Chain A
Amino acid sequence: MPPKPHRILLDRVSGYADEAAAYMRRRRVARRPFARLYYANGRSADHAFDSDSGAELFVAAGRLLEVAGKRPKP
């Protein structure tokens, strides 16, 4: 017996939602800290954490994170 049409639609939407959730989970797990600079001519450059310039950028960013503090709970 074929499934009802609305079940097909619901299954498809749930499938997309599951895929998106899995992508976000993988992104959270796999993402590493990075420092990226963008220039006016459209060029961009990544600076690794263990490079001199990268380390300095992370220190400067850390100070700004301190200044901003934690987001208050709603």
Chain B
Amino acid sequence: MPDAAATALAPGDSAQGALAFLTEMSPDLRGAAILAADGSVLAASGEPGRWGEDAAALFAIADGAGGESVEQVHVATEQGEVFALRHEGLAVVAVAERFALASLLFFDMRSTLRNLAHTTPSTSEGGESRNGGED
């Protein structure tokens, strides 16, 4: 189970809890990571380093594709589906089985980040400045 393998990094006790909550809410989820405003991985289900690199690459490509900062990314492939979301200065990237219900997963991801941002106000403040810079 992804939540069993969840790896917490400083200051990620609350992030680890949020990731476990997200995994529990979404049975189609294969793995996910929560990232701070500076791109560092707060919690991940697996190798945090790789999650951080690949999530940053996805957001960079998505931002470049449209010429502005994206809020949500949804890529559906034959092997599975990738969802990414920025909200309240945090970001979450999730990988799910094919045909996962996108709207539900985005809703869960958004509420997870909202709860996490409110429990860790310092992280949220940093994220607002980051988003402001990107826009």
Q: What is the total number of residues of chain A having a CB less than 8 Å from a CB of chain B?
A: 29
Residues of chain A lying within 8 A (CB to CB) of residue B97? 71
**Distance, CA A61 to CA B69, complexed state (A):** 18
**Distance, CA A60 to CA B50, complexed state (A):** 12
| B58–A27 touching, CB < 8 Å | no
Residues of chain B lying within 8 A (CB to CB) of residue A26? none
CB of A64 within 8 Å of the partner chain: yes
Q: Mark B113-134, 1 if CB is under 8 A from A, else 0.
A: 0000000000000000000000
Q: Which of A9-62 touch B at CB < 8 Å?
A: 27-28, 31, 33-40, 45, 47, 53, 56-58, 60-62
Known: A39-B66, A57-B62. A64 touches B1 (CB 8 A): no
**Distance, CA A37 to CA B82, complexed state (A):** 12
Q: Mark B25-69, 1 if CB is under 8 A from A, else 0.
A: 000011110000000000001110011001101100110111011
CB of A63 within 8 Å of the partner chain: yes
A59 to chain B, nearest CB (A): 8
| A61–B58 touching, CB < 8 Å | yes
Known: A40-B71, A60-B61. A31 touches B95 (CB 8 A): no
| A37–B70 touching, CB < 8 Å | yes
- 9 interchain residue pairs of minimum CB distance: A68-B31, A68-B95, A53-B65, A38-B72, A61-B75, A61-B82, A60-B58, A68-B30, A63-B54
Listed by A's residue number, 5 A-B pairs whose Cβ atoms lie within 8 Å are A35-B74, A35-B76, A57-B58, A58-B75, A71-B29
